[in-house]
A and B are shown apart, each in its own frame.
Chain A
């Protein structure tokens, strides 16, 4: 195996970019699973739905990122509908029923996957934009623009959501519903509506994450399976519900994968990343930024 500080430095750069990408695809789950305790295993599938929706909108000549932003309101409404169904059918009936909700989300993921296959077929889909396929040259280093775009979107999403959750009334209510639902009820707020709103936001964010996914690489209907492990890993490593923690955990995972991949071998990358998760949970069961 070749070792040089140049390679290490480059692995670090790619790790940061990859890490931000991981954070961006996990941030919706950080809200739905981390803050709301909804076992949303369909999160990556919803994201892939976002990728395909971006593909359709982008086919009219619209930039994929702009397409992702345009799709956010529609996905917000979709999120509200999904949560409402989950609440009425499962959550309202107690903890056991909520656990059965896990099966509901698995079912939802399969329906999305099969639906995409029926409409688009199993072929890969990709989008075109000026920043896809070219790279920024800095001396001997070449950094793909698509990864820089993902990096930027991840930062905007993380800080935007952090600000929203800490500075707005609804945002603080979302955090409150995660901590003490009865107390929220006592001050006159409706926890179900708050959760519904938060789930809408998480799903809306998935549309943009989906746009980023199809920018970073081609997508196919079953791609969600690749992301289930990674997204849950990032959210748990972060400490459930922490937005900045999600960014930090994404970075740790991305940098660890990138360095291991370049220095030790690609086959070790997932093992080291998930080994890291076990190690952190052994020392801090609440995750890096959990309370």
Chain B
């Protein structure tokens, strides 16, 4: 069959137009599969579900732009129930049955730790998801964490330095008997020693602890100058309530540090005024400016309302969206799905994300960590909207984001506006 030159040109133009329509033109190959296990139930479930909303937003966005390498992106996520025993099996399934092209680690240190040997053994690129020091021993050179911390010092430094400024000479440690909290506690103990702070109370508690009254009473009896708590979401709530009931003593200058959960909106809103005075770590608080984050948070708020998850989504969602952005840059930058080449790209280049520019160090953690320590102030009960505005979490560290000094002692800070 003969075609005129004009007909061929017309067909070519039509093809070019179709290819130009975003989100429609995908190559004939199968989709690029991105897989992960995510805690959707259990103690980390609330955070995990919010993070999933953000990752799905990235998948939608990238598909709108034409996918990766001209192929549609398909996202596969399984619930690991916050149980580390489930994650190795899930990742084996993702690799051997689902045959995913790219991997993202589950949210949290505890579910991630058992996956590390598998990733190293098979030489896979693994994007970390808010875990803490899981690569310290494994030393996998294709690991890239999205969390704004690095080593224990990067996390605890802000808390310790502020304590020192306030003249603290003694410290109490309360840590969950979990991988994350223990990693953090070990680093914090070293920092306290360096700062010549005497540890007058040092307790690890099992994850099944029901009531924290006795532990808080123990801290009170030890009369520390500051209290560093490293807890998981459910424990954090129980600890804050017990502190309100029992009190930690008038001598305590600062309380908090490493309490996971106090960044989640449902917990912040249900604890309300009980949060006042606590100085705790965070990844993002309103007022911090990065290109694209405000637009993301606005879009996220709509999706979160539909999915009935964390309505504000400051803590995990932007950093999960950033994982997608980094994968996208690595794939586009190398024009391949080759894990080795992508890892090299991630190591050598600065990534542009909605949580700011990220450059990685040798261990796959942020070369310039940026853990924020913020003090809750003037928080009232039953008002989610108050957390959208700057001021309810006053940044006391690092200096580049600082919006105020720590109010001490803790009892005074609890009443501060």
Contacts and interface: CB of A to CB of B under 8 A. Distances in A.
Interface stretch (B205-213, B341-349, B367-375): B205-213
Contacts of B206: 266-267, 269-270
Interface stretch (A118-126, A236-244, A276-284): A118-126
A121 B308 contact: yes
B247 interface: yes
Nearest to B82: A222
Interface stretch (B90-98, B266-274, B322-330, B405-413): B266-274
Contacts of A261: 205, 209, 214-215
B163 interface: no
Interface SS of B by simple majority = helix
B238 interface: yes
A156 to B, nearest CB: 20
A290 interface: no
Interface string A123-141: 1101000000111000000
A31 B322 CA distance: 53
B214 A14 contact: yes
Interface string B172-211: 0000010000000000000000000000010111101111
Nearest to B222: A2
A124 B46 contact: yes
A56 B145 CA distance: 40
Interface in B386-403: none
B283 to A, nearest CB: 19
B244 interface: yes
A221 B211 CA distance: 18
Q: Which secondary structure dominates chain A's binding surface?
A: helix
Interface in A89-134: 113, 117, 121-124, 126, 133-134
A85 B270 CA distance: 39
B266 A123 contact: yes
Contacts of B204: 265-267
Contact of A216 (B211, B218, B233, B266): B211
Contact of B217 (A10, A147, A266): A10
Contacts of A269: 206, 209
B211 to A, nearest CB: 6
Task: Rank and list the top 9 A-B pairs by shortest CB-CB distance, nearest first.
Answer: A122-B45, A266-B205, A123-B266, A135-B245, A144-B245, A123-B46, A262-B214, A121-B308, A14-B214
15 contacts: A6-B221, A7-B221, A14-B213, A122-B42, A122-B46, A124-B267, A144-B213, A144-B245, A144-B246, A222-B45, A261-B209, A266-B177, A267-B204, A269-B209, A270-B208
